[in-house]
Amino acid sequence: MGQDIPSTLRYSEQHEWVRDDEGVYTVGITAYAQDQLGDVVYVDLPSPGAEVVAGQAFGEVESTKSVSDLYAPVAGTIEARNEELDDRPELVSEDPYGAGWLIRLRPRDAADLAGLLDATAYARLTSG
């Protein structure tokens, strides 16, 4: 399963991943989460300018199996939402670490990233 957990990302216990792109964080759901959900059919994301609070829901992802909340891994302001998911929500299933990203946010405190799991810790969380 190691190849499904990129070592360059940080992870939340709610199965979101975070990539630091020069001070703006790209956020998505992990391959593990996507696998649990099944085929994604709809994604509800906030608009740019919205504030998110770490650990609180910022949107939803609907799959053929269920509807699940998306949780902000860090606090900040939404800079962008993946508009392509409006027409192609299946990108979350097909490419969770690439074209299936969800939001980009400017963190309130960059130190929050250090509080997230690294790939090794996330692998332990999902192997249980």
Q: What pLDDT shows up at residue 3?
A: 53
Residue-averaged pLDDT of the chain: 94
Who has greater pLDDT, 11 or 1?
Answer: 11
Spatial separation of the C-alpha atoms in residues 23 and 40, rounded to whole Å:
29
- Is the predicted pLDDT of residue 74 greater than 80, yes or no? yes
Mean pLDDT in residue range 90-104: 96
pLDDT tens-place string over residues 84-94: 999 999 999 99
Domains contained in the chain, CATH given: 2-127 (2.40.50.100)
Strand partners, 62: 42, 67
**From the DSSP assignment, how many helices (H) and strands (E) are in the chain?**
4, 9
Query: What is the SS3 assignment for 19?
Result: strand
CB 52 within 8 A of CB 73: no
- Is the predicted pLDDT of residue 2 greater than 60, yes or no? no
